[in-house]
Copies of this chain bind each other. A is one copy, B any other.
């Protein structure tokens, strides 16, 4: 961790003081309580229109902005839903999901904040998130334990929702079963008569929590059959794919589950350049059902993954926030089904 020295005093003039509600009250000639009532739009207290106007004008003139945290302390909770930001570049499926979720929560008057805690994981990360006093926390992936959930709840989070492979004590759990994705792919290839099946395992850090269960799912699908599973570690680079393709005859595989559609495109191109016929010599299947798979020739078979809809998830969060005492809900949310096209 790089330590930042304080700036030398001469280079950093003292910033202008941040205006407070007391400043607004002084300028408007009213009490701080009145400022608070007006700016928080409290309907419980009758305040005359001219007074309201005076407060708003004073706030505007001073550039006063209420302090979210102070306000949330008064209100008992904020409207902030915190999500850890993924620490790897996300694919189109996840990006679409976040976009939808943001909209759906926005419509329910929540604000989504993606928190980028780099190099901090699990319960330690929970402590950092808790410092922002979110009303709800939505955690994709594994890593958060019951202790982290408890830290979040003790610091005022009314709901903790995990999207991961397992339930976490105290949290609502949306179970994402990535084994099912691999199981689908493995069964499909087996049903197509393939017996020597390669499974691509991406080299990028951060993808293990998806790739390992997918690999496991293929193994499970083929358990007790005469089929073999070969793990194929692969970086998302043309050169790496070419090296893999050059070893293809020697590997003697008749099918490959390529982790996702983007890896499938990479592998398929390298195999085609090497003269491997798809699907005759080797069947290829991806996952995610991206548009690009339909644009490839042969058209790419894939596993369609049904993420929870942003709207359903937003409603779960809202329900949980409004009823923090309710028992945690558990939903299985990841649908996986094969889309059979021409590559397998």
Contact = CB atoms under 8 A, between A and B. Distances in A.
Interface of A: 1-4, 6-7, 11-13, 15-16, 18-19, 62-71, 76, 85, 87-90, 92, 95-96, 98-99, 102-103, 105-109, 111-119, 127-128, 130-133, 150-151, 153-156, 158, 236-238, 262, 265-266, 269, 291-292, 294-295, 318, 322-326
A2 B108 contact: yes
A116 B108 contact: no
A111 B102 contact: no
Nearest to A1: B109
A67 B13 CA distance: 27
Nearest to A114: B114
A11 B323 contact: yes
Copies of this chain: 2
B158 A15 contact: yes
B295 A265 contact: yes
B131 A103 contact: no
Residue among A15, A87, A117, A292 with the most chain B CB within 10 A? Answer: A15
Contact of A266 (B67, B154, B238, B295): B295
A70 B265 CA distance: 50
Nearest to A127: B65
